[in-house]
Amino acid sequence: MLKARMKYGAVSAKIMAMYGKRLREDDWQRLSECKSYAEICAFLRSHRGWSQTMASLPTTPTPKVLQAAVRKRVYEDYEKLYKFLQIEDQQFLKFTAYRAEYDYILDALREKGPMELLPKTLELTDFMRKNSSVDLAALEQSRNFAEIQSAVKGSIYEKPLAELKLNPETGQPNYWETGVLLENAFFKAIFSYISGKYKGFGQKNLSKTLGMEADLLNIVSILRLQRSFPQSLEQAGELLIPISYRLKPELLYALESAKSEDEALEILRKSDFGKYLVGTDTTKIESIYYKTMEKFCRKLLKTAEPDLNTPQVYLVLKGLECEKLSRVIEAVYSGVDPKSVI
């Protein structure tokens, strides 16, 4: 414990200072009361955690530009922490970049409308671009699946993409199946690294954080199947991340075998996950992931001894904050009540 404190005490102090600039409950309340996009911009300019981001933008940025800048903050903070850590810990933190990569691979596969003028990679920092294992420039300009495969050579996604079946008419793989495959490839790779290669402090806590995330993503997947694709529940095992922490086989089977979404939720409430669902709007399936992961990571950040999991937990929390803020920006600009997305 003493060695861990000595090694991670400084980075923990830096993280807590960064975390202190987060959007708090009263800030979210204020944001939820904003009546116009201009009010959102004015609020962010005055907030100590977001004023610097706003200062780097035009006086009146478009919502898309602002959303890109908001999501970019995760990678700006990632860069700060990466440079602050020692080399052996930097190797683990590279998985943050790998995680971003599968989003950009999926974006390259997605058919885009004529109004989508801003590339998704605008969200990335130069540091992320330079240190990515994927050729992001080539990925951004790819016109077919073969060019996407060429762009990911040498990454953890090369082999999974090569195994996909292509639609003979389009020459493209199924978008949904590709998303499942890439997500699974990421979690397999990161758990393999933690269990087999990482020898530093924090292995147990890293497994907890990432295991909890895999559990929640699997729960959300099952509930989504229960709601919209009940006929696919028999194939649920092929669609889930092959990692578990608290989601034991018997609970997983019970959720898959439930006769309805409501029954699955009731089973979940009676499980170890029930305490995380208190105060969560379960009609919005994704909120189960967002709210639970936030509660779980906040507790770890405040109570756990500092180790490599400390920057990992902070980056998860920052990512959740940025995603929520992006939803609020979209809602207010579109005339939707922002309370519905917070």
For residue 189, the model assigns a pLDDT of 96
Q: Which residue has 């699974």 as its token pair?
A: 184
Tell whether 134 is covered by a domain.
yes
Per-chain mean pLDDT for the chain: 91
Percent of the chain residues topping a pLDDT of 90: 73
For residue 3, the model assigns a pLDDT of 61
What does the block give as tokens for 336? 């939707």
Report how far apart, in Å, the C-alpha atoms of 311 and of each of 23, 112, 164, 248 are: 18, 34, 34, 27
Tell whether 68 is covered by a domain.
no
Helix axes 175-196 and 87-109, enclosed angle (nearest 10): 170
Tell whether 143 is covered by a domain.
yes
Tell whether 145 is covered by a domain.
yes
Range 312-331 average pLDDT: 96
For residue 202, the model assigns a pLDDT of 87
CB-neighbour burial class of residue 1 (10 A; exposed 0-12, middle 13-18, buried 19+):
exposed
What does the block give as tokens for 324? 């929520």
Tell whether 179 is covered by a domain.
yes
Give residue 22's identity as a one-letter amino acid code: R
Tell whether 178 is covered by a domain.
yes
Tally of domains in the chain: 1
Note whether 201 and 8 are within 8 A (CB): yes
Determine which of 139-143, 185-189, 315-319 has the lowest per-residue pLDDT on average: 139-143
Whether 21 shows a pLDDT value over 80: the answer reads yes
pTM: 0.92
* Residue range of the domain that includes 128: 86-190
Range 84-108 average pLDDT: 92
SS3 133: coil
Note whether 121 and 136 are within 8 A (CB): yes
Question: What is the per-residue pLDDT across 132-157, written as a single tens digit (0 to 9) for each?
Answer: 999 999 998 899 999 999 999 999 99
SS3 283: coil
Three-class HEC string of 292-337: HHHHHHHHHHHHCCCCCHHHHHHHHHHHHHHHHHHHHHHHHHHCCC
Range 181-205 average pLDDT: 91
Whether 51 shows a pLDDT value over 90: the answer reads yes
Tell whether 49 is covered by a domain.
no
Note whether 231 and 213 are within 8 A (CB): no
Residue 117 pLDDT level (bands cut at 50, 70, 90): low
Question: What is the per-residue pLDDT across 231-277, written as a single tens digit (0 to 9) for each?
Answer: 888 888 888 999 989 999 999 999 999 999 999 999 999 999 998 88
134 Rama sector, left if φ>0, alpha if ψ -120 to 50, beta otherwise: beta
For residue 113, the model assigns a pLDDT of 63
Q: What is the DSSP code (8-state) at residue 166?
A: B
CB-neighbour burial class of residue 87 (10 A; exposed 0-12, middle 13-18, buried 19+):
exposed
How many beta carbons lie within 10 A of that of residue 250, not counting itself? 9
Tell whether 40 is covered by a domain.
no
How many beta carbons lie within 10 A of that of residue 226, not counting itself? 23
